[in-house]
Structure 1
Amino acid sequence: MKIFRLILLIIHLGILFLLLGTLLNAYVPPKAFPWFNLLSLGFPVLIIVYVVLTVFWIFSWKKRAFVFMFAGLAFINPVKRWVNYSSPKSGDSEIKVVSFNARAGFWGRRNIESYLRSQNADVIILQEDGAGLYEFEGYQKVKPSGIFAILTKHKIINEKIIQPQDKDLRIPGIIADIDINGKVYRFVDVYLNPFRFEKEMIKPGKDANTNEKKILDVVKKLIPTFKKHQDQVALIREEIESSPYPVILAGDFNSVPNSYEYYHLSDGLEDAFLTAGKGSATSFHDYKFPIRIDYIFSSKSVKAISYKVDRSVSISDHYPVTVKFSTDSK
């Protein structure tokens, strides 16, 4: 029994250090050391195992349980980025924003159009728009750039493509400065480089050698994409920091919470899910593994009062994300 507990202790300590590694994504860029970012993908599994082992030590009446419980406090906010239970919020003036990766209408363009119309949102932020598929009566549209589109019922003051100088780096987003009820907000539509995984690539097989090759192939896709994300994030950060207006940033980051991308894109902004979300924030449903890669952030002067991942519709491999913001300055 002592040997068994020693093995569990070593495993528990190992998981603790791996979880601490995910926190370093706030400081260590992928180009310097991409492996911390890789750890963020396994955060849900790691934290579940960590909690189970902590409970085991509690029921075993071991003092080490208190050590692991205390260390676990460092992961309260990282956990809340996946699963959260915020108190009800109230506010007067509202801005309704819908962010949605439409997958170029692949799962039914008419269904997507019907859904978006029904939302009656002030601003609709789309990724994988399909080079301008969606246009609605009563809405103005930022001129699309390939996969991006921003539609609004309000006046567009300015629009811009976030254009990389590096020809090998794809456009990470577009910007629209929109006047809503006499106040201008900067909306940033983000779509970072996708990984382009096929389900077969991550589906475990019966042969160990085949599985090992699959893991290596996945890592070979992940690492270069993380490094491209670093450059794309830097471009987006420039637009956020130079904005003369409050910012609402939304889109498909192709990155999970606690990743380098999450920490640096959310810097100085509020995650609407942390402020007003309840339950799970999982937004990508093409895999059985829980994945949150769609986000809506805002300047602190714009408060989220409701947050919804709409799982009532399966019109893309992403669920739409809807946030209502209060613009009451009190």
Structure 2
Amino acid sequence: MKIIRLILLILHVGIFFLLVGMLLNAYIPPKVFPWFNLLSLGFPLLMTGYILLTFFWIISWKKRAFLFLFLGLLFFNPILRWVNYSGHKSEEGNFKIISLNAKNGNLGVKNIETFINAQKADVVLLQEYGGYKEYHFDGLKRVADTAVVAVFSKFKIVGQKKLIKSNIEHSNIYTTQTDIEVRGKIYRIINIHLQSFKFEKSMVKLNGNNEKDEEKVKNIVKRLIPTFKIHQEQISVIKKAVENSPYPIILAGDFNSVPNSYEYYHLLGGLQDAFVKAGNGSATSFHDYKFPIRIDYIFTSKSIKPITYKVDRSVRISDHYPVIATFKLSK
């Protein structure tokens, strides 16, 4: 039994240091050391292991349980970025936004239209909406868009421009900024679709064949590392736009990055995560793989108050669930 406990202790300490490595994404960019960003992908499994081992020490009446409980406080905020309970707010929002990666409309443009029209949103942000497919949302005007992202608004558009137009190497990934006037005040909306990893389900599904599975893992890493570095370049452009904005910011879309990643920390800088402020339950938004993945977000300036945040799992109109949030804008 002592040997088993020693092995579990070594495992627990190892998991702790891996989780600490993940926190270093706030400081170390992928071009310097990309491996920390890989750890963010495994956060749900690492954290689950850490918690289970902590409970093991508690029921074993070991003093080390208190140490691991205390050290576990380092990961309280990282947990809230995946699973949160903010309670119910008595206030009502006066601005509603929906963000959805539409998977090129492959599951039906009409299905997307029906769902969004029922929500009566003020602004709709689509990513991978399907080239120049036509979407018609009640009461919403379509802004001049790109081949990847589109913005629909019920409010007056006062400005719009492309922030990122990737070259051939980076593929057709766009990010746009759109200025809208809401009750006499201007807000800047940045609709994001960061570089995709271009995974297919068959590429990440392990089948028990050691040689083939090992080759798949190597291929996954070969795709992840270069994409992390491309994200770093794209984030630099977006952060500059956020920092130079004269207006309050709403930064939303498909980040192709999980919480506690380099991308998350550096896009969040100076903003707030609406899910952390107003969400309840899980923020998992990509459902095509049997693994909790949150890659869709809505960040805002702190002057914009989040009231509700919901990942709507009642519909499957894409491989992403729609993200719906309401906010209180000052009048």
Q: TM-score range by the shorter chain?
A: over 0.9
Q: How big is the shift at 1:203?
A: 1.1
What's the RMSD between the two structures over aligned residues?
1.4
Unmatched tracts of structure 1, length 5 or more: none
Supply the AA of the counterpart residue of 1:257. P
- State the match for 2:148 in structure 1: 147
- Determine which of 228, 237, 240 is the counterpart of 1:238: 240
Q: CA deviation at 1:164?
A: 5.1
Partner of 1:114: 114
Tell me by how many angstroms 1:138 deviates: 2.8
Task: Name the residue aligned to 1:217.
Answer: 219
Contact kept? 1:172, 1:232, Cα under 8 Å? no
Structure 1 residues 93, 221: CA separation in 2 closer, same or farther (over 3 Å shift)?
Answer: closer
Alignment: residue pair count: 329
Distance, in Å, in 2 between the alignment partners of 1:188 and 1:135 is 21
Distance 1:213 1:309 in 2: 34
SS at match of 1:185: strand
Which residue identity is paired with 1:14?
G
Task: Tell me the distance in 1 between the aligned counterparts of 2:207 and 2:140.
Answer: 49
Q: Residue 124 of structure 1: SS of its match in structure 2? A: strand
For 1:61-210, list aligned pairs within 5 A.
61-91=61-91, 94-133=94-133, 134-163=135-164, 168-169=169-170, 170-210=172-212
Kindly indicate whether the alpha-carbon contact (under 8 Å) linking 2:93 and 2:307 is maintained by their aligned counterparts in 1: no
Q: Give 1:206 deviation, angstroms.
A: 2.1
Tell me if structure 2 keeps the 8 A contact 1:252–1:295: yes
> 1:140·1:153 contact (CA, 8 Å) conserved in 2?
yes
- Residue 313 (1) aligns with residue 323 (2): no
Question: In the TM superposition, what is the alpha-carbon distance from 1:130 to its structure 2 partner?
Answer: 1.4
Q: Which amino acid aligns with 1:7?
A: I
1:136 offset after TM fit, Å? 3.2
Alpha-carbon separation, structure 2, partners of 1:109 and 1:49: 41
Q: 1:88-124 CA deviation, whole Å, 9 max, x = no partner?
A: 2243561100000011110111101111112111100
Equivalent pair of 1:162/1:171 in contact (CA under 8 Å)? no
Q: 1:93 to 1:60 in 2, by over 3 A?
A: closer
Q: Distance in 2 between matches of 1:307 and 1:74?
A: 25
Contact 2:19 2:43 in 1 (8 A): yes
Amino acid at match of 1:15: I
Q: What secondary structure does 1:130 align onto?
A: coil
1:4 aligns with 2:26: no
Displacement of 1:78 in angstroms is 0.3
TM-score, normalised with respect to structure 1: 0.97
Report the alpha carbon displacement of residue 165 of structure 1 after superposing the two structures with TM: 7.9
**Partners of 1:162 and 1:297 in 2: CA distance:** 17
One-letter amino acid of the structure 2 residue matched with residue 320 of structure 1: P
Deviations 1:126-182 (A, max 9, x none): 101112322335322221111110000010000010135866445441010000111
Q: 1:277 to 1:137 in 2, by over 3 A?
A: closer
Identity of aligned residues (%): 57
Q: Distance in 1 between matches of 2:175 and 2:47?
A: 32
SS in 2 for 1:163: strand
Question: Residues of 2 paired with 1:112 and 1:81: CA distance?
Answer: 27
The residue type equivalent to 1:155 in the other structure is K
Answer whether contact 1:313 1:319 (CA < 8 A) is retained: yes
Look up the equivalent residue of 1:2 and give its one-letter code.
K
How far apart are 1:307 and its partner, in Å? Answer: 0.5
Counterpart Cα distance in 2 of 1:287 and 1:325: 31
Paired position in structure 2 for 1:290: 292
* Further displaced range: 171-180 or 36-45: 171-180
Question: Distance between the aligned counterparts of 1:23 and 1:115, measured in 2?
Answer: 38
**Secondary structure of residue in 1 paired with 2:15:** helix
Give me the TM-score of the superposition, normalised by structure 2: 0.96
Q: Which residue in 1 is equivalent to 2:327?
A: 325
> What amino acid does structure 2 have at the position aligned with 1:88?
H
Partner of 1:24: 24
Q: Aligned pair in 2 of structure 1 residues 93, 219: CA closer, same or farther (>3 Å)?
A: closer
Distance 1:314 1:165 in 2: 29
Contact conserved, 1:283 with 1:293, CA < 8 A, in 2?
yes
2:164–2:234 CA contact under 8 A, matched in 1: no
Letter in structure 1 aligned against 2:43: F
Question: Cα gap change, 1:222/1:84 in structure 2, threshold over 3 Å: closer, same or farther?
Answer: same
Residue type at the aligned position of 1:5: R
Question: Distance in 2 between the 1:25 and 1:31 partners?
Answer: 11
What code does the residue aligned with 1:31 have?
Answer: K
User: Are 1:45 and 2:58 counterparts?
Assistant: no
Q: Distance in 1 between matches of 2:174 and 2:43?
A: 25
Partner of 1:300: 302
Report the Cα offset of residue 52 of structure 1. Answer: 0.4
